[in-house]
Structure 1
Amino acid sequence: MSYFPEPPYFLLVAGILVALTSGAAFAATLKQIVQKWASDRAANRLSKLPTAQLILPFLGISAGVGLFLSSGLEVFGFPNWLSYAVAIPLTLLIGLLIWLQLGSMLSLVEREGFQSIDIDSWR
């Protein structure tokens, strides 16, 4: 019989590691897609953007963040059911909003070019 401490410290660390590794995969995949998209100016339609390659790392990030958030709440003394009841809807909502914002940014780049998202030139 193995012993796990009452607050899920292992799940806390595992959640952040899953989120970080999935985030690195998401960033590398997105960079590769955008570079290919930018180099192929003739056919840079957003409808051809391969979101299937991006969805798996994004779901990994969301799962890791949800696990980290729920475990963090449990560390602070919340019961299991309450921590998951808070973490899952919050993670789904934030993940959906970020996914929609990413789509909005990519459609802006499609319409106006990459200079439209260069925030360093705004003064």
Structure 2
Amino acid sequence: MYNIPEPPYFLLIAGLLISITSGAAFEAVLKQSVQAWAKNRSTRSLATLQGVELLLPFLGMALGVCVFLSSGVEIFGFPTRLAYMISIPLTVLISGLIWRQLGVNLVQLEQGGSQALDLDS
């Protein structure tokens, strides 16, 4: 008789919580770095703020999203290996694009101030 494996609900919730907590840390570090740069207007560019202190929470978010995504795919009956084969490349691609866009936004903020990022004007 065929045995249906139990869906990974625990990993789904764990991935979501990892992403949320890492996202809160990422937000706090990014805000603190930008505020410190705006206060001092140091010669150090905003693009160099993408250091380890910002990369670590970002990688935590990416890991949580990968686990969440693969667990969600597994809930629909896909095997674990296939679920991770789908979620890992997707997470790496999206994370790379977001990290690149963050660098572009920081350069725009440095060159034109907060008005450069205002989409309403």
- Normalising by structure 1, we get a TM-score of 0.89
Alignment of 1:47-58 (within 5 A): 48-49=48-49, 51-58=51-58
Give 1:42 shift: 4.2
1:99–1:47 CA distance, 2 compared to 1 (3 A):
closer
Alignment of 1:41-120 (within 5 A): 41-46=41-46, 48-49=48-49, 51-119=51-119
1:47–1:62 CA distance, 2 compared to 1 (3 A):
closer
Moved over 6 A (4+): none
- Normalising by structure 2, we get a TM-score of 0.90
Instruction: Tell me which amino acid in the other structure corresponds to 2:26.
Output: F
Instruction: Report the counterpart of residue 31 of structure 1 in structure 2.
Output: 31
Rounded to whole Å, the distance in 1 between the matches of 2:96 and 2:112 is: 24
| Segment of structure 1 superposing worse, 28-37 or 108-117 | 108-117
Rounded to whole Å, the distance in 1 between the matches of 2:94 and 2:23 is: 15
| Segment of structure 1 superposing worse, 5-14 or 80-89 | 5-14
Rounded to whole Å, the distance in 2 between the matches of 1:44 and 1:114 is: 17
Give 1:97 shift: 0.2
Q: Contact (CA 8 Å) 1:44, 1:110: kept in 2 or not? A: no
Residue 12 in structure 1 maps to residue 50 in structure 2: no
Identity across the alignment (%): 56
Equivalent residue pairs, number: 117
Provide the aligned C-alpha RMSD in A: 1.4
Rounded to whole Å, the distance in 2 between the matches of 1:90 and 1:67 is: 12
Rounded to whole Å, the distance in 1 between the matches of 2:50 and 2:87 is: 29
Consecutive unaligned residues of structure 2, counting only runs of 5 or more, are none
1:39–1:61 CA distance, 2 compared to 1 (3 A):
same
1:61–1:47 CA distance, 2 compared to 1 (3 A):
closer
Instruction: Tell me which amino acid in the other structure corresponds to 1:88.
Output: I
